[in-house]
Structure 1
Amino acid sequence: MKNTTRSFRLACTEDQIPDVEALLRAEGFGFEPEPFFSLARTLTAEPMPLGRSIAARFGYIYIQDKSSMLPPLALAPRPGDRVLDMCASPGSKTGILSRMVGPTGLVLANEPSPDRLATLRVNMRHLGCLNVATCKYEAQNLPLAAGSWPLILLDAPCSGWGTVEKNPKAAQMWAGEKTAPLEELQRELLTKAAELLAPGGRLLYSTCTTNVRENEDQVRFAMEHLGLAPAPLPEFESFSFAPSLPGCLLVDGEGSAAQGFFLACLTKPGQAGETEWPEGRELPGDTITRQHFLARTGLDTSWLPEHSFLCVGGRIYLIFEQARKLPGELRWQGFAVGKAAGDSVLADATLRMFVPPVPDGNSLVLENVRDIAALLSGQSLAWKGDARRRAFYYRSLPLGFLTVKGNRCLWSDR
């Protein structure tokens, strides 16, 4: 019987959940919470494509199979942690990691393919993942120090047998011995991950296949040749699991109304402790303090953790202080926030990060989604005032800035 269940997650903080859900319901969407994750939802009514919803437009939801949400939850980083995501695109798991480590944490998301890296960066920007730095390396060649990462997610390239309902040709494309090159690559990636993992650290290895050679056999390889040991994982509520190695989870796709998925948490012997990084190199480009950024743009970012901005090649990036400690050999990119032209700083005012968390007297707070839809369709609203832009919200949910022209204000995403 075909599984038609669709799932998504809310891309918001816990206190924003009621407003995001209200925004979805106001457009007619129905959904039920999933017990394994406070932000996971199962779709029950879809009056139009979910990806066209206002919540999706402003990056407050992410359409994702619920099995795909498990690897970050199984790795279980805490606020303030730093995590290496070795094969990150399109960023579905990266976004969850970003939310879990919080604004004082850091996620280094790597993707070797230029096209997939571009997708990753677009998704991180759309979701407002300010604490994600991105880089482009073959993961087995990442220029990072041995033993320097306490938490690593390796969602390895695989045959995708667990996604056959979505990709019917996957099992045929990777039948029999055709998976041999993938298996070799997975072992190379596991070997690199074991090298980078700090003593006492955790490595979460996952695939979306049910192939034993890509799953259990790779865990045996990590145990026998890399000195790693499996750590027990909880059996997440609302999932069914097939038999696997002790400490590993193999999601039964049909029984879980989800994709088939494999997870294994591997640990490195030794005492867990604070992992010191060598001093990072001086970053290329011109640093702009948040005070200078405010003076040039009128956009206040003082509510964020310690940060600055970096102008490189005419583009401006937000740089959290923890990212400045990344190793000097590593080429990486922060969160893109705008452009520079001469002495002018042209920030992208459509980014939610610039909208104050709490509305003030000049803000526009909308309670009716029809008003938001009207703005998005190009209609304007009357307004009097001297400001060139006006923050607007759905209830207490920051959406962006409206451009003021004369006595009207309108939405522009250009």
Structure 2
Amino acid sequence: MKSSEQILKVENLGFKYNEKEILKDICFTLEVGDFVGILGPNGCGKTTLLKNINRWLKPDTGNIYVNGESIYRVTIKDLAKRVATVPQDTYLDVAFTVEQIVLMGRNPHLKNFESEQKEDIAIVEDAMKSMDILHLRDKPVHQLSGGERQRVLIARALAQQPSLLLLDEPTSHLDINYQWELLGLLKDLCLKKSLTILVVLHDINLASMFCNKIILLKDHKIFKMGDLNEVLNEDNIKAVFDMDVRVVTPKGNPKPVVIFLNTSDENEAIFAKKPKPFHKLHVICGGGEGEELLSYLGQRGYEVSVGVLNKGDSDWETARRLGFDIVEEIPFSPISDENAAKNISYIEKADAVILANIPFGLGNLKNIMCLEGFIGRKDIYILEENDINERDYTNGAAVKIYNKIKDKAVVFKSMQELKEII
């Protein structure tokens, strides 16, 4: 349970670069266990704000308090015991192992020339466990993937045992599955260890999924700060990012989901208000071919299930963000019999099924095999933007089943056609 103890207080903070105002009258507080995302357009001062909080920069006006004490009344070493930072770009010396890098986080707690003790080793091991890299402890850092290196940097920061962790775009340049995994690990730290986290993010929906509060920066000032549903609404996002969006809260998911609209589509609002011919829909997609379709169905307010998708697939990320039920398979693996059965159960419960314009290989062939048993029993819609022969990598097995389904299905040649009906 989150305490109400105040960890960070930023008071009337102002900062200038060469007389140009970068931060103006910034005021906010964070409490124990807060996971707060900073969002805003490029150049609005997000990174500069973090650099003022960790004392890498000195503000022109205002003050910053950590654990109730001004950061300017403590030594740099003492501040490093309270505040740890993972910057956007950090060089890791290739000569070091993972454990050696994480051990560097104990430096603020050691006297000059003092060696690490058993207690320090235990703290470092706990930090590596928290970031799921203990099994990599003896591996040279140059042999790690981008996602693994990022977790090493965070583990090093955790080894400082801070009460406040600052991160500057930790998910940039990471694949979708690594982004979710990393932020999930950080969220666990907030919940289980009462660590307070302030993170700069560029993805609004990632911030919504994992943060409990949001700071929106615009024109170098705080435009809005508060709980997710208070901050992430259509008016605020339009004002800060100058983008047209629709914000929805899917059934069973209290987190707001931001759907970015195509401003050139003048009929978008009309489609959104049309009566829905169905209540529950099941979608078979994958490989990014379902992103637009899933976003549209979420905007329309359908109850949607999706399957079978490999974890980390871009359609999987979209479906998860929208709060849809998903039949999940482990990454890069063919569909198991168990998950095929789950897929069939979702098809049974749906009012209709939509088959997206996906390619078929041996790994996902079972998706279309699941649908074969519902020919003539269930309303089936096919989004066919490309001929199936161009999308078949199963030596004709997929084409044979697909054409049987197509013979009894309604076929749309474009999303525009689908929107007219669905």
Q: With structure 1 as the length reference, what TM-score do the two structures score?
A: 0.28
Highest Rg: 1 or 2? 2
Higher helix content, 1 or 2: 2
